[in-house]
C-alpha cells in the first residue's frame, strides 16, 4: 500500500463556514496561494451553490492555482453538481466532492428518505459529476453514527458508479479512536472494490479527538486526511493541518508514512489564515501557538541551554520560526537570566549578577514576562551603588476623587523601623512628606520624570527625580510596575545619596 498521506485542505470551505468568518475572493486567493506554497495536495475552494461569492471564488481559484487539485463541494443533486462543474472549468485538476447523509438520524429527521433512496441519489450524483471531471470524491455525511453494513453497501455502490475517493466523515466529532479504527477495518473488509480507491477521513473536533481519530485512520489504512489550517471549521473545528503534518514528520519512522507538506511554510500559513479570518490562536495551541516553543521554567530553560533536545522534539526553524524563546518570568533560573544578559550585551560580576537576579525575580512576580527593555532597566537601576541608610520596609496609600490622599511609610534605619503618615496632593506627594518626617532631611524636589520602560498595561515604570538639600543636588531612580512604589523608592534612593554626599549620620 502506498505510504504517502494526501492532504486535502478544507480551510476555504469547512474552515470558512465557522461563525464570523467572511472571506472575499481576494482573501481566499491569498490563502490558496499560500496553501500551494505549503504544498497541500487538494484545495477545497468552496461550496459553489451556497452563494454567488463562493461560486466566483471557486472560478477564480480554479484559474489561478496550478499544480494542485481544486475541489468544489456539492450535495447529491443535479443543480449542486452542475454549479460545481461550471465553477471548476478553469481548474487543471478539478475534483467534485459530492455528499449525502448516511446515518439513520439524518435520514429520518433531515432528508426524510429511505436507505435505498440515498444509495440511488449517491449513484446518480457520482455519475453526473463524471461529466465534468474524472476525479469524484464521495462523502457519507455522519458516517460514524451510521450502520456499518449500510455504509459498506453505499460505498460499494458509489465505487461501481466511478468514485475515485470515498470519504468517511466524523461529521459531529462523535467517534473515539479505537471505535473509529474498528469501523475503518470493517469498511475495508466488507466493501467491494475498495482497493481501487483512495479512502479518506474528515474528522471534527467536538470531543477534542479530530487529530487522534485522523491518525488512527492512517494506522488502519486510510491514505487521505481532510483538515484545516489552525483547525478552524464548524463548531469546535476540524483536524488541524499543522498538527497532522508535524506528527507524521516527527514520527515518520514509527508511522511508516509521509506527506509532501513543505513544513517550512507552516508558520507563515498559520499567520495568514489567522490574520484574514480574524480567528485568534490559543497561546498553548500545538505547533503554531505563541508558547509552543517558549520556555519559562528554570529546569526547562537550563536543559534547553545545555541541549535543546531535552525539551523540544521539533526544531522551530524547520516550520518557519527564527528560534525557540526562553521567556524570562518568575519561574526562570539564573542560567537563563545570565544568558539573556549576555545576548543583550551586558556582562556582570558575580555579586552584581546576584543582586540584579533577585530584583528581576521580584519584578517578575508582579509583571509576569520580563522583556529585554525591562532587563536593561533592572541592571541600570540596581547597579547604581549607594549605601542604604534608609531602607523601605513597606507602605500603604489611600487616594480617590472624594478623599484627600494619605500615605503611611515604614522605613528601617540602623535596624529600627520608623513609621510616619502624611496627607498630600495625591499619593506620591503624601508619601514624600511621610518620608521627609522620618529622614528629617529638608529636601526640595526639583525634577520628577516617569516613563514606561516597555509597552503594555503591565509595563515597568521608571521614575527619575532630582532632589536638593543644603546645597547638595542628587538624582534618585527606581523601577516598578507600580508608579507609586517606583516614586517612593526613587525618593528614598535620593535621600540615601544626600546622606552619602554630606557624610551625615543618623542618630
Write out pLDDT tens, residues 430-452: 999 999 999 999 888 988 888 77
What number is the average pLDDT over the span 119-132?
A: 98
Please state the length of the chain. Answer: 507
How far is it, in rounded angstroms, from Cα 43 to Cα 15? 12
d(CA 226, CA 232): 12
pLDDT one-digit tens code per residue, 37-63 = 999 999 999 999 999 989 999 999 999
Backbone φ and ψ for 504, nearest 5 degrees, come out as -75, 165
CATH tag for 6-277 (out of 3.20.20.70, 3.60.21.10, 3.90.870.10, 3.30.379.10): 3.20.20.70
Kindly report, as residue ranges, where domains of CATH 3.20.20.70 are found in the chain.
Answer: 6-277
Q: What angle do CA 330, 336, 342 make, to 5 degrees?
A: 130
Q: According to CATH, where is 3.30.160.270 located in the chain?
A: 391-502
Q: The domain at 391-502 falls in which architecture?
A: 2-Layer Sandwich (3.30)
CA distance 434 to 311: 51
% helix / strand / coil in the chain, to the nearest 5? 45, 25, 30
**Is residue 129 within 8 Å of residue 106, measured between CB atoms?**
no
Residue indicated by cell numbers 477545497: 44
What pTM, to 2 d.p., does this model score? 0.69
| For residue 233, pLDDT beyond 70 | yes
Q: pLDDT tens digit string along 69-107? A: 999 999 999 999 999 999 999 999 999 999 999 999 999
User: What backbone torsions phi and psi does residue 418 show, to the nearest 5 degrees?
Assistant: -115, 145
Q: Which three cell numbers stand for residue 470?
A: 543644603
The pLDDT of residue 321 is 64
Split at pLDDT 50, 70, 90, the class of 343 is: low
> What is the structure's pLDDT at 112?
93
- How far apart (Å, rounded) are the C-alpha atoms in residues 383 and 177? 59
Rounded CA separation 38/421 (Å) = 66
Amino acid at each position: 500500500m502506498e505510504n504517502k498521506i494526501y492532504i486535502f485542505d478544507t480551510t476555504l470551505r469547512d474552515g470558512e463556514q465557522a461563525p464570523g468568518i467572511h472571506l472575499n475572493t481576494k482573501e481566499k486567493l491569498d490563502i490558496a496561494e499560500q496553501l500551494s506554497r505549503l504544498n497541500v495536495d487538494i484545495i477545497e475552494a468552496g461550496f459553489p451553490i451556497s452563494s454567488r461569492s463562493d461560486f466566483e471564488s471557486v472560478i477564480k481559484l480554479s484559474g489561478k492555482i496550478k499544480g494542485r487539485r481544486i475541489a468544489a463541494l456539492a450535495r447529491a443533486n443535479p443543480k449542486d453538481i452542475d454549479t460545481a462543474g461550471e465553477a471548476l472549468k478553469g481548474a487543471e485538476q478539478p475534483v467534485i466532492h459530492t455528499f449525502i447523509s448516511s446515518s439513520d438520524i439524518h435520514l429520518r429527521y433531515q432528508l426524510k428518505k429511505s436507505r435505498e433512496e440515498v444509495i440511488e441519489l449517491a449513484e446518480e450524483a457520482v455519475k453526473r459529476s463524471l461529466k465534468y471531471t474524472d476525479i469524484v470524491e464521495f462523502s457519507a455525511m455522519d458516517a460514524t453514527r451510521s450502520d456499518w453494513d449500510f455504509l459498506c453497501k453505499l460505498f460499494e455502490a458509489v465505487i461501481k458508479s466511478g468514485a475515485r475517493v470515498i470519504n468517511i466523515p466524523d461529521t459531529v466529532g462523535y467517534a473515539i479512536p479505537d471505535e473509529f479504527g474498528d469501523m475503518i477495518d470493517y469498511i475495508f473488509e466488507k466493501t467491494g472494490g475498495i482497493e481501487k480507491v483512495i479512502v479518506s477521513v474528515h474528522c471534527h473536533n467536538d470531543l477534542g479527538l479530530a487529530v487522534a481519530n485522523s491518525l488512527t485512520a492512517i494506522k488502519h489504512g486510510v491514505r487521505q486526511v481532510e483538515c484545516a489550517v489552525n483547525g478552524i471549521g464548524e463548531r469546535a473545528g476540524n483536524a488541524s493541518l499543522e498538527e497532522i503534518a508535524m506528527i507524521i514528520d516527527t514520527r515518520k519512522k514509527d508511522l511508516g508514512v509521509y506527506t509532501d507538506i513543505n513544513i517550512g511554510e507552516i508558520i507563515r500559513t498559520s499567520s495568514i489564515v489567522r490574520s484574514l479570518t480574524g480567528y485568534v490562536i490559543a497561546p498553548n495551541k500545538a505547533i503554531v501557538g505563541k508558547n509552543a516553543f517558549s520556555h519559562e521554567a528554570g529546569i526547562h530553560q537550563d536543559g534547553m541551554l545545555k541541549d535543546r533536545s531535552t525539551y523540544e522534539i521539533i526544531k522551530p526553524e524547520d516550520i518557519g520560526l527564527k528560534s525557540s524563546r526562553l521567556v524570562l518570568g518568575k519561574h526562570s533560573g539564573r542560567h537563563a537570566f545570565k544568558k539573556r544578559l549576555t545576548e543583550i550585551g551586558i556582562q556582570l560580576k558575580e555579586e552584581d549578577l546576584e543582586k540584579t537576579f533577585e530584583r528581576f525575580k521580584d519584578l517578575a512576580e508582579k509583571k509576569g514576562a520580563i522583556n529585554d527593555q525591562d532587563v536593561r532597566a533592572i541592571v541600570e537601576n540596581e547597579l547604581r551603588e549607594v549605601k542604604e541608610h534608609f531602607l523601605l520596609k513597606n507602605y500603604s496609600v489611600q487616594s480617590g476623587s472624594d478623599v484627600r490622599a494619605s500615605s503611611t511609610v515604614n522605613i528601617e534605619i540602623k535596624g529600627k523601623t520608623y513609621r510616619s503618615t502624611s496627607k498630600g496632593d495625591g499619593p506620591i506627594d503624601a508619601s514624600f512628606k511621610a518620608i521627609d518626617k522620618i529622614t528629617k532631611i529638608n529636601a526640595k524636589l526639583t525634577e520628577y520624570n516617569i516613563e514606561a520602560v516597555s509597552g503594555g498595561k503591565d509595563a515597568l515604570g521608571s521614575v527619575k527625580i532630582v532632589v536638593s538639600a543644603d546645597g547638595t543636588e542628587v538624582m534618585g531612580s527606581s523601577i516598578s510596575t507600580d508608579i507609586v512604589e517606583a516614586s517612593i523608592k526613587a525618593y528614598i534612593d535620593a535621600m540615601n545619596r544626600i546622606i552619602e554626599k554630606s557624610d551625615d549620620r543618623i542618630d
